[in-house]
């Protein structure tokens, strides 16, 4: 083969090798694009999850702020509660007659001069101040003793209806009923918060749980109305966020 053909052969070899290399590069490019697309989908899913967790975190922070009054009420009362609890029950025991079997009933109600009935916790509230009585009721609720907590919260409201903690006490009484699936009683407690203490911070939460109670009572029409009213009156509240979620499933 003449020397003059060598450049042509060289070019042919380079072109052939280039074609084979282009196919490999193209295949690698397709594979890379598939990987990038998969990573993009995963990134979007991760962003969505992060956004969801951020919303949940903000909701939790708002709920924690909403219970500041409860925490502030409990903190100073717990130390006093620890010191005075035994003395309180001892005093109640001395004031009440024993049953035929000799058992003392510290939860006995006492008739007043005007014919009304007062619970011992209400008496304690009048003697020692509403804050400690509220803290004591909330402590019972925290222990999961819902019937006793209801008695204590409602007794507190009767004794201290003008207290800043009265709407909170009504709300937590409603929560106690709700936890026991006593939805009708729960609804009444939550509605009392709204009607008797319309400016209280617990009103949005009470409206939310009133809606949930109506759902428990199999009354979705009224439940929707209650939740929609909450969203309209308190659109920026954490309770409204929960209401919107629930409305989407009614």
Write the CATH number for 228. Answer: 1.25.40.10
DSSP type of residue 160: -
Question: Lowest-confidence range among 53-67, 105-119, 206-220?
Answer: 105-119
40-72 exposure pattern, b = at least 16 Cβ within 10 A, e = fewer: eeeeeeeeeeeeeeeeeeeeeeeeeebeebbee
Quote the percentage of the chain above a pLDDT of 90.
Answer: 45
Q: Which residue has the higher pLDDT, 194 or 58?
A: 194
Residue range 16-41, pLDDT digits in tens = 555 555 666 566 666 666 676 666 66
pLDDT for the residue numbered 201: 95
- The pLDDT confidence band at residue 59, using thresholds 50, 70 and 90, is low
What was the pLDDT predicted at 29?
63
Let me know: does 149 contact 184? Beta carbons within 8 Å. Answer: no
Residues 121 and 185 in one domain: no
Query: Within this chain, do residues 122 and 89 fall inside the same structural domain, yes or no?
Result: yes
Dist. CA 243–CA 249, nearest whole Å: 10
- Residue where a domain terminates, one of 125, 157, 176: 176
Asked if pLDDT for residue 53 goes beyond 60, the answer is yes
Q: How far is it, in rounded angstroms, from Cα 56 to Cα 244?
A: 14
Pick from 16-30, 83-97, 115-129, 187-201 the range whose average pLDDT is largest.
187-201
Q: pTM score > 0.85 for this model?
A: no
Q: Name the domain count of the chain.
A: 3
Q: Who contacts 44 (Cβ-Cβ below 8 Å, separation ≥6)?
A: none
pLDDT of 230 over the 70 cut? yes
**pLDDT at 85 > cutoff 50:** yes
The answer to the question of residue 2 being in a domain is no
Q: Which of 176, 195, 222 is where one domain is finished?
A: 176
User: Model confidence at 105, in pLDDT bands (50, 70, 90)?
Assistant: very low
Maximum Cα–Cα distance across the chain:
133
Domain that holds residue 28: 19-61
CA distance 250 to 236: 21
Look at the block and give the residue holding tokens 């804050």.
131
Domain co-membership, 211 together with 113: no
Answer yes or no: do 163 and 212 share one domain.
no
């Amino acid at each position: 083969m003449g020397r003059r053909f060598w450049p042509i052969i060289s070019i042919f070899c380079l072109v052939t090798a280039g074609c084979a290399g282009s196919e490999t590069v193209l295949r690698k490019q397709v594979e890379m694009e598939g990987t990038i697309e998969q990573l993009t989908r995963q990134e979007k899913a991760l962003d969505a999850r992060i956004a969801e967790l951020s919303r949940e975190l903000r909701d939790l922070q708002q709920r924690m702020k909403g219970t500041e009054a409860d925490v502030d009420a409990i903190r100073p009362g717990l130390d006093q509660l620890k010191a005075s609890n035994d003395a309180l029950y001892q005093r109640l025991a001395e004031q009440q007659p024993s049953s035929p079997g000799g058992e003392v009933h510290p939860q006995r109600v006492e008739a007043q001069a005007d014919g009304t009935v007062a619970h011992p916790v209400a008496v304690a509230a009048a003697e020692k101040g509403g804050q400690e009585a509220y803290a004591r009721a909330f402590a019972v609720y925290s222990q999961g003793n819902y019937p006793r907590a209801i008695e204590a919260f409602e007794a507190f409201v009767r004794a201290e209806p003008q207290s800043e903690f009265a709407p909170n006490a009504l709300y937590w009484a409603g929560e106690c009923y709700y936890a026991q699936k006593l939805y009708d009683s729960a609804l009444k407690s939550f509605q009392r918060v709204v009607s008797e203490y319309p400016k209280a911070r617990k009103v949005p939460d009470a409206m939310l749980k009133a809606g949930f109670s109506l759902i428990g009572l199999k009354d979705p029409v009224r439940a929707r109305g209650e939740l929609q009213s909450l969203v309209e009156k308190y659109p920026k509240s954490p309770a409204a966020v929960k209401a919107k979620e629930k409305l989407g499933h009614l």
